Amino acid sequence: MARIIVVTSGKGGVGKTTSSAAIGLGLALKGNKVVLIDFDIGLRNLDLIMGCERRVVYDFVNVINGEATLNQALIKDKRVSSLSILPASQTRDKDALNKENVGKVLEDLGKLYDYIICDSPAGIEAGAMMALYYADEAIVTTNPEVSSVRDSDRILGMLASRSRRAELGLDPIKEHLLLTRYSPKRVEEGEMLSVEDVEDILSIPLLGVIPESQAVLKASNAGEPVILDTESDAGKAYQDVVDRLLGETVDFRFLVAEKKGIFSRMFGG
């Protein structure tokens, strides 16, 4: 059975799509068969981050409505052949999805892939509920600031009460905390919540901490998921996240501000 993982947050702009793309590609690079689904119907973004926006012919809603087959809609990644993308529709809205049809699509995909990554839209409305309903695991993406943490808390409540697992009384969704845009320097200056603060409030296991990095914006604009930028801190941190998802124990990096050494001071880092 495929692992269905929803990448969710409640709040918008915290890095759900960036994380979905990086984690999906990372899992595929490790030899897993992965499909990324964009649940943000009407605000399609995942195709841009993945760099396949010019190859979208059919989308998720076409498949739901029976206007296209899964094979027609799935876009194979040009970098890794075991990765596919199911893009969202840009012209429809979130009411185009319903539980039965989404369940059917996920069931079909489950036969073909090891991992199904659902990139959730922001908010707590129908679209986000649809993305998390069938999940086995959830990556709760959170920025280290109070409003993002509170929205994540709200989503955690939804995961525990509104998912299929909750409705059927099965084992609860396995929750992971992914802290993005983390700046150790600003934490030290007291401008940002620390990892400990966020863990204390949300009390779910930490999957990864992605440092604030210029590389992320560059990667998004280029359509190359940041995990491919193996020199960047963010790329390395996403690699750690993938390893942890695959069951490895990896120490957390990038949690303390780098002290500038004499050389970097002299040559400007």
| Residues lying near another protein in the complex (CB under 8 A) | 124, 150-151, 153-154, 156-157, 160-161, 200-201, 203
Residues 178 and 139: beta-carbon distance below 8 Å: yes
Give residues with Cβ within 8 angstroms of 176, minimum separation 6: 137, 138, 139, 140, 204, 205, 206, 207, 245
Nearer to another protein, 153 or 224 (CB): 153
Least gap, CB of 167 to another protein (angstroms): 16
Nearer to another protein, 105 or 156 (CB): 156
As a whole number of angstroms, the distance between CA 239 and CA 252 comes to: 11
Least gap, CB of 195 to another protein (angstroms): 17
Nearer to another protein, 79 or 174 (CB): 174
Least gap, CB of 201 to another protein (angstroms): 7
As a whole number of angstroms, the distance between CA 141 and CA 111 comes to: 27
Least gap, CB of 244 to another protein (angstroms): 22
Give residues with Cβ within 8 angstroms of 226, minimum separation 6: 18, 21, 22, 213, 215, 216, 219, 220, 232, 234, 235, 238
As a whole number of angstroms, the distance between CA 222 and CA 237 comes to: 19
In this structure, how many other beta carbons lie within 10 angstroms of the beta carbon of residue 200? 10
Least gap, CB of 150 to another protein (angstroms): 5
Nearer to another protein, 149 or 228 (CB): 149
Nearer to another protein, 149 or 234 (CB): 149
Nearer to another protein, 136 or 151 (CB): 151
Residues 140 and 176: beta-carbon distance below 8 Å: yes
List % helix, strand, coil for the chain (3-state, nearest 5).
45, 15, 40
For residue 180, how many C-alpha atoms fall within 13 Å in the half-sphere facing its CB?
28
Least gap, CB of 159 to another protein (angstroms): 9
